[in-house]
Amino acid sequence: MSAAHPPGIERVLFTEEQIRQRIQEVAAEISARFRGRDLKLVGVLKGSVFFLTALARAIEIPLKIDFLAISSFANRTTAPGLVRIAKDLDDSIEGEDVLLVEDIVDTGFTARYLLRTLAGRGPNSLAICTLLDRTARRIVQVPVEFRCFEIPDRFVVGFGLDYKQLYRNLGHIAVMRPD
């Protein structure tokens, strides 16, 4: 089976079917929680695009969608976990129920920054929904209300997650070889 994997891929972690099924389950929870409310999904570019699209299609209530992009950087002159918004939301979130849609929550630095930034804009509520939650690498604790999968401390690609901008288009989630 490894011959069918693209170069650098060790194994499939979650199949397309497993992902589709879990997104349906999480979408049902979201639909129930936000029924009758003004829900806005806020996707974090680029990684969340595939997940947000599948999630939005599975949610059974009316919703709005917006995107933002972030830049994370750390070097000798900046603290690790420093994040800034590279592309802001197009519309206000004031008075809306906002669901921040992430491809992966890892250390928690980005999620914490985004929660604090968005909370200052007056949403009615603010929650995180992530495709993958890698709690083994968590440095900053953040509340993840909706998660599809918890994953081990391995580098993964597919379904929006990349390695040097490659592999986002895989329909499954795969573990990269450690080399």
pLDDT band at residue 33 under the 50/70/90 scheme: very high
Strand ranges, E, within 29-158 = 39-45, 63-73, 82-87, 97-105, 125-133, 146-150, 156-157
Q: How far apart are CA 172 and CA 2, in angstroms?
A: 14
- Give pLDDT, residue 81: 60
Q: What is the pLDDT of residues 135-145, one digit of tens each?
A: 999 999 999 99
pTM value?
0.91
pLDDT band at residue 39 under the 50/70/90 scheme: very high
Q: Which residues are catalytic?
A: 106
- Give pLDDT, residue 17: 98
Q: What percent of the chain has pLDDT over 90?
A: 87
**Does domain 19-152 sit in CATH 3.40.50.2020?**
yes
- Give pLDDT, residue 71: 87
For the segment 31-60, the average pLDDT, to the nearest whole number, is 97
- Average per-residue pLDDT in the chain? 92
